[in-house]
């Protein structure tokens, strides 16, 4: 177990998976978060209001926006080498075509609910025009925006996410330790029949005397209770209760978005290889990519900024770690994604949303009995 308080609790004091005695492989970074990658920042806008029967356009509201900045604000126009992998395409990630075509993208990433994905995409362009107008003066932008479905708890057809909320998430993005659980785009999300949402973790990898960070951020909203697995043990059958309570029937509309960031120098084809390892971390928790699940994964590297922004008419050069040495980075992706999902579950509380629909949190007493430590916070 680690003595680092950031590894055990979120900034608000919510427990993380390590605080209950769950052990993990690999070495986390200082914050055990995607923000261990220098220059990466995360911000949220969280919308929670109203109770009772659904009134479309009024609520109840259980949603939000997450923003991930790839570089410091002044450098957001500089592309990052990147790759994507769609394990199951029942979902949306805008900008995916240019990532596939060029192996790079720029501008922040946003993640929200399914019916607000366009607002978060367009809101990013509005924000960039305000904070870095030269990035759009003579160019176009194709921001990355992703989504998962929160309609069991949220008035998803009420379109409560606005440009102002996107701006709030982007303006509030910071490095260092970040919140997890029912915050930002993860506010109304469910995993294995428990309250989940936003989660993060990181691993440090040493190569040729240099330490590189690999960080993962997930918006976790997938899985069936009976498949739930913690560190190789199928625990779902132990957890028939507490159960989801439905005032209105719940359709199976689960998904997971994962963003992997690293400061290790890799080329675009290698970033796609890292993105392809995300499903292995999801599977470690019991996620099997069922039909209705949108499982879409993006990986990017902040290294090689000069090569990513190479001007026309001159030779560009990029450093990269050889493919023959990439395996420890695969380990890091799988380990960080697995822990990020469990963090999203542990750092959470019960939530009641539209029509009295109720989603329990992963029981803290059960965690304490099974893993031998009371959660901190």
Domain annotation for the chain: domains and CATH numbers: 19-310+318-371 (3.60.70.12)
Active-site option among 255, 263, 301, 361 = 255
Q: H helices within 223-294, ranges in order?
A: 268-276, 278-284
Active-site option among 202, 295, 301, 361 = 295
The 8-class DSSP code of residue 374 comes to P
Q: From the CB of residue 138, how many other CB atoms can be counted at a distance below 10 Å? A: 6
221 forms beta bridges with 255
174 forms beta bridges with 42
- Are 6 and 178 contacting, i.e. CB atoms less than 8 angstroms apart? no
- Are 353 and 189 contacting, i.e. CB atoms less than 8 angstroms apart? no
Beta pairing, strands 190-191 & 144-148: unpaired
Q: How far apart are CA 224 and CA 217, in angstroms?
A: 21
Task: Say whether 295 is catalytic.
Answer: yes
* pLDDT of 311: 81
Which regions in the chain score pLDDT beneath 70? 1-2, 250-252, 375-377
- The C-alpha torsion from 308 through 313 and 314 to 318, rounded to 10°, is 20
Task: Say whether 293 is catalytic.
Answer: yes
- Tell me: the pLDDT tens digits for 273-301? 999 999 999 999 999 999 989 999 999 99
Q: How far apart are CA 193 and CA 312, in angstroms?
A: 52
Beta pairing, strands 144-148 & 109-113: parallel
Q: What stretch of H or E contains 67?
A: strand 61-69
Active-site option among 45, 293, 301, 361 = 293
Task: Say whether 255 is catalytic.
Answer: yes
User: Which residues, including other chains, have CB under 8 Å from residue 82's CB and lie 6 or more apart?
Assistant: 99, 103, 104, 105, 268, 271, 298, 299, 300, 301
Q: Please report where in the chains the tokens 């994604």 appear, as a residue.
A: 337
């Amino acid at each position: 177990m680690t003595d680092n308080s950031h590894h055990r609790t979120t900034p608000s004091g919510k427990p993380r998976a390590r605080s209950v005695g769950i052990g993990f492989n690999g070495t986390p970074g200082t914050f055990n978060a995607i923000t261990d990658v220098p220059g990466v920042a995360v911000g949220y806008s969280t919308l929670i209001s109203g109770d009772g029967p659904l009134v479309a356009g009024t609520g109840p509201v259980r949603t939000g926006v997450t923003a991930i900045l790839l570089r410091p604000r002044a450098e957001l126009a500089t592309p990052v080498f990147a790759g994507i992998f769609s394990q199951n395409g029942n979902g949306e990630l805008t900008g995916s075509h240019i990532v596939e075509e060029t192996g790079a993208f720029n501008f922040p990433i946003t993640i929200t609910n399914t019916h607000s994905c366009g607002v978060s995409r367009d809101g990013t362009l509005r924000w960039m025009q305000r904070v870095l107008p030269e990035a759009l003066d003579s160019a176009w932008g194709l921001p990355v925006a992703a989504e998962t479905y929160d309609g069991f708890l949220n008035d998803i057809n009420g379109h409560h996410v606005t440009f102002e909320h996107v701006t709030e998430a982007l303006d509030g993005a910071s490095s260092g330790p970040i919140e997890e659980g029912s915050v930002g785009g993860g506010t109304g999300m469910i995993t294995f029949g428990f309250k989940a949402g936003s989660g993060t973790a990181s691993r440090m990898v040493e190569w040729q005397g240099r330490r590189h960070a690999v960080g993962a951020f997930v918006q976790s909203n997938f899985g069936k209770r009976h498949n739930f697995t913690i560190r190789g043990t199928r625990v779902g059958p132990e957890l028939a209760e507490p159960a989801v309570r439905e005032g209105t029937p719940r359709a199976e509309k689960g998904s997971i978005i994962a963003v992997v960031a690293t400061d290790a120098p890799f080329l675009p084809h290698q970033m796609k290889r890292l993105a392809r390892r995300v499903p292995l971390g999801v599977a470690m928790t019991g996620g099997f990519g069922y039909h209705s699940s949108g499982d879409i994964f993006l990986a990017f590297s902040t290294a090689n900024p000069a090569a990513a922004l190479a001007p026309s008419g001159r030779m560009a050069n990029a450093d990269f770690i050889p493919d023959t040495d990439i395996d420890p980075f695969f380990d890091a992706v799988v380990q960080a994604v697995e822990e990020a999902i469990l963090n999203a579950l542990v750092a959470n509380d019960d939530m009641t949303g539209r029509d009295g629909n109720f989603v329990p949190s992963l029981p803290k007493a059960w965690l304490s009995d099974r893993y031998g430590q009371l959660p901190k916070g």
